Structure 1
Amino acid sequence: MQVFKSPKESLGDLGAQSAAKLIAAATDVAVVVDGQGVIRDVAFNKEELSLELDAQGRWLGSKMLEIVTSETQAKVRELLLDAAALKSSSWRQVNHPSPRGEDIPVLYSAINIGRKDRFVLVGRDLRPLAAMQQRLINAQQSMERDYVRLRHAETRYRLLFQVSSEAVMIVDSSNYAILDANPAALALLDESAPQLLRSGFLSRFDSAGSQAVETLLSDVRATGRDNSTRVHLANGQRECGVTASLFRQENASLFLVRLSSHASTPASSALKATSILLNYFEAAPDGLVITQSDGRVVRANSVFLEMAQLGSAEQARGEQLDRWLGRAGVDFNVAFANLRQNGSIKLFATAMRGEYGATADVEVSAVSLTDSDDKPSFGFAIRNVERRLSASTPSSRELPRSVAQLIELIGRVPLRDLVRETTDVIEKLSIEAALELTGDNRASAAEMLGLSRQSLYVKLRRFGLAEHAADEGPENE
């Protein structure tokens, strides 16, 4: 600790009144205690902290050990002992109990002011620091979850890329260099990976084919639509089909190029594509369901079966999807009506109910499908969102719902429940505000709210705002 080198010259004769103002302004809370640890005076820099810790002035005359939590009483003793032996003590965190239930952390240091029977404890409110640390932890956890999801997505992409029997390459749109190629492409071009990667894509075709492929890639880059052509490879007279698609990765435009030899038939390619789609359907991390036009389940993947607490797909087949999806009766019907009318729905928030009572908040996206017989069916993607990190900071006081949130509940919750919930929240907040403004004086709070004291006590017990609401002694008046 570094102190002033010449305090008498720089500060002059600083009186008690000026010293008190200086201490109160420099700290969030300052407490004067005697040699026995009894509080003789207290000052707060924040009105909010004063109301929450010492709203009724109960600190004066109390021992410092009585206003802190039991696990931090030893720290208070150490503070006073250090101050008695030295000029000041090191900083120690002490927790004060709060009427709202959460302890309030304060960082204290005790100062010996030159009298054996007086010490000054100066404190800093640590709640803003604790809130910042919590936000940092939440952000770190969110980043870790995003990293895990990206790593899993990359693993699935690499696996699909490597096992595909179709020749696939990634080509840079600026210079037509080959950035990546799967084993099927290496086998088709009869080259190794070191030879193929970073080499020119157009050089893999004969003179006429190179010009045709360059024109194809230019058209795809200009229009953004997939296109295809047939050309001959440079290493022989074998004919090859080239299909190109444009996509963006970070700030670069890339081509996804698929090569199909003449031996490949449309039927075999379609069969391979169907097999890949079926594999994705079963391995997808979200619940996937195909239903008939009346909502009866035709096919469901293993994730949906787990969410619905079903042992096999046979238990779901032929059953109505709203047996497990939706809440408040009309929830699923509203989503299904929008799906029939618009052809798709996105991120519809609802609930999933398991066979054995388990519930989970989910988001549903769905699309209308048409099979070969022109019979309409629907595909649903169901994602569990219970573990999703909330963007809003948790608050110890419940806030009323916004208009947008209330609109989202229409159709899921009966109107009488919406009105009752909104009324209860507003009534509870009004009572809390009145008690805070009157320093927890219930008689004054009742008069401010236009209620009788008996009605106020009934509402306090109803909302859990006072454990001893029936005590009408003079201390509450």
Structure 2
Amino acid sequence: MLRDAVSRLDPQTTGALVAAASDVSLVVDGDGVIRDAAFGADGLSEEAGGRWLGQRWIDTVTVESRPKVASLLEDAEPGAVTRWRQVNHPSAQGGVDVPIRYAALRIPDDDRILVIGRDLRALSALQQRLADSQQALERDYARLRSAETRYRVLFQLAGEPILIVDAGTRRVTEINPAASRLLGRAIKRIVGRDLVDLFEPEAARAVQSLLVGLRLTGQAEDLTARLAQRRGEARVSATLFREEAGTSILVRLAALTPAPSPAAARSGALEVIEAMPEGFVITDRDRRIIGVNAAFLDLAQLATEHQAKGELLERWLGREGTEIGALFGTLAEHGSVRHFGTVIRGEFGAVDEVEVAAVSVPGGEKPCFGFTLRSLPRRVAAVTPGGRDLPRSVEHMTELVGRVSMKALVRETTDMIERLCIEAALRITHDNRASAAEMLGLSRQGFYAKMRRYGLGDLDGSEEAEEDGG
């Protein structure tokens, strides 16, 4: 019925209907020249279509949209509308391009083409606002992360003993290293405990009264309390503050006994570093190791610190020479590095993925670098057995852009691709070296040479077996 009704309309009425139903309608002749144009969207004619008449349609669009216009003209057939394509027109006002979605229909018994378009400016503006909002959210998130990082650094490095206590349960939720040293207990043994348990029984009652008064009035007088385990007396101050998850109490302790000497403090710091579960290394400017802790010795499969001292760090750390060079180059330029993913190679062949954080210490008589190595959990590869994690390797390469030369990147990328191809060929041929070499277009000797280069397989045994079999 609709087609029958439309067929009864005269040409003038049909043209008016097309113009009203679309944001822009064009009549294009067989040479692709615009012979007539009608605009239904407000401001569209002034912004994009003011001088279209008499021009080729393909000349009114941006360079990247020209193939789409050519396709629309070529695909236009009588009785069938082409699929919609988005085309961008340069703005006559010098602003952003004007996006319009077009479809075309060839007029029967005529070489002219009817083109109808829908204005996408509102959708484009909405997408731009969405992108701007996303960027604003990311900036806000980055600022929050930065503020949280500063808080964490200040909290951890503060010389004043500080505890964060849940106001409802009185349980310690956070504690800084200074408070841990004052109380003589490891942080993990304090977090989760009732605050009053950290004081001797008589002092605990006074601390409990202080907390009750603080919750009722929001203020409390400082008091002197004796710490548990004969850790001496301390001045206790408490401040109530509100967080998103509830109300907390910031408790500050001030030891009333003499502070330890600097030498004792340094000794304590060294003990902490030695007991760290993460590997710790100090090197000089020439990358030679000055000192390590026990965790690093475990990662490097070494028995004593003497085996590591004086050796180059890259003997154990890094996949390739370019990687360790990038690490030290970034340190020299920026002074610190965080979340640097690499591997540590043990003395007896073990390879572990680690995340490196490093800092440059330029001051003092002997400038040095400090590194912490955190072992990453082993993950099951999301590829076929025996394969390597190619996306991660590519990501690793892109992270090195700007840190090392392109020549070094190309060399390392070539090595990575060669190794992946060899591993894939061995997997496909079920570890048949001769077939794998033929698959890759390599001689058997060349194939074995590359396997030796990348440390793949039991080469000596396999060569002898295949020679005997041949």
- Normalization by structure 2: what TM-score? 0.49
TM-score by length of 1: 0.49
Higher relative contact order (CA 8 A, sep 6+): 1
